[in-house]
């Protein structure tokens, strides 16, 4: 694990690291906020994994969400990985589209060629990255949560629902909740997973929650002026599936907010406090 940069922020440390990912077959970057040790001790601290949306790298959340202030106050480690494999030999969208390939790994393990060689973000996020973080940083393996935005909200929901014992708490901003039914998801799943839609359900939050509610609470914030709300996001699908299966869900429709990081920054404090409270409850 190499250090790309290390910057003081709210008394803690915002750093960016690189490492060789065996799972993805390329170098990967991730950003980490570590809270001030003089306030909170040396840790290990509760840890949150943030999954970003389409086109993002490890930098967007780190620079724009304003999470460091509350993470420093509470004593939380926050990890923000990149959104896809990258680098030499990693194929991108043939047409250079923003919604598939580079920056658009969809937090799944691709089974179709040529994607299946590198696009294994599901294994990367659920196994390789936390193992590295827990080994190298003061992050508590038994107090971990996951959250994300848009495509990353999809990632957070699906990973929490499949691993509620590893990622105990979950929240999302503007998540893709029914990828099997919307254009972004159909494009990604048909390419990464093939045309047999029965394979898609393993990465569809609404399908997953219908069969396996997690037992935890889930928090979702969704802007009502979000340009992608009707065509791509459809939070009502997930809400209906949660209600049917008994999954606890708090869905907040936020008047006037769009899909941007200005929306995330406005409500990030609520999400961090929400995770912290549940991860540290005795």
- Write the interaction track for a second copy spanning residues 243-262; mark x where CB under 8 A is met and - where it is not: -------------xxx-xxx
Q: Closer to a second copy by CB, 11 or 92: give it.
A: 11
Residue in 157, 223, 237, 239 binding a second copy, rule: CB under 8 A:
223
> In the window 25-54, what residues touch a second copy (CB under 8 A)?
none
Nearer to a second copy (CB atom), residue 19 or residue 69: 69
Does the protein bind a second copy through residue 138 (CB under 8 A)?
no
Residue 10 binding a second copy, by CB under 8 A: yes
68 binds a second copy (CB under 8 A): yes
Active-site residue (options: 150, 171, 180, 206): 150
Q: Is 126 helix (H, G, I), strand (E, B) or coil?
A: helix
- Shortest Å, Cβ 128 to a second copy: 27
Interface residues with a second copy (CB under 8 A)? Answer: 7-11, 14, 63-64, 66, 68-69, 223, 225, 256-258, 260-263, 265-266
């Amino acid at each position: 694990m190499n250090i790309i940069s290390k910057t003081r922020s709210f008394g803690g440390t915002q750093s960016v690291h690189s490492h060789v990912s065996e799972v993805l077959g390329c170098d990967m970057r991730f950003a980490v906020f570590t809270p001030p040790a003089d306030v909170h001790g040396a840790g290990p601290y509760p840890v949150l994994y943030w999954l970003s949306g389409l086109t993002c790298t490890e930098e967007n959340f780190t620079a724009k969400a304003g999470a460091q202030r509350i993470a420093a106050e509470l004593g939380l480690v926050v990890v923000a990985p990149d959104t896809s494999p990258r680098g030499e030999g990693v194929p991108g969208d043939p047409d250079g589209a923003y919604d598939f390939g580079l920056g658009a790994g969809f937090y799944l393990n691709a089974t179709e060629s040529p994607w299946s060689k590198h696009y294994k973000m599901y294994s990367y996020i659920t196994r390789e990255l936390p193992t590295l973080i827990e080994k190298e940083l003061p992050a508590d393996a038994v107090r971990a949560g996951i959250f994300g935005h848009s495509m990353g909200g999809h990632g957070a929901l699906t990973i929490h629902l499949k691993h509620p014992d590893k990622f105990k708490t979950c929240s999302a901003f503007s998540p893709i909740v029914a990828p099997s039914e919307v254009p972004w998801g159909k494009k990604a799943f048909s390419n990464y997973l093939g045309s047999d839609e029965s394979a898609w359900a393993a990465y569809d939050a609404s399908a997953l929650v219908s069969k396996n509610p997690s037992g935890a609470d889930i928090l979702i914030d969704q802007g009502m002026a979000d340009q992608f709300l009707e065509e791509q996001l459809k939070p009502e699908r997930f809400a209906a599936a949660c209600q049917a299966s008994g999954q606890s869900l708090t869905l907040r429709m936020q008047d006037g907010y769009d899909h941007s990081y200005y929306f995330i920054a406005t409500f990030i404090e609520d999400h961090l406090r929400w995770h912290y409270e549940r991860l540290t409850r005795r």
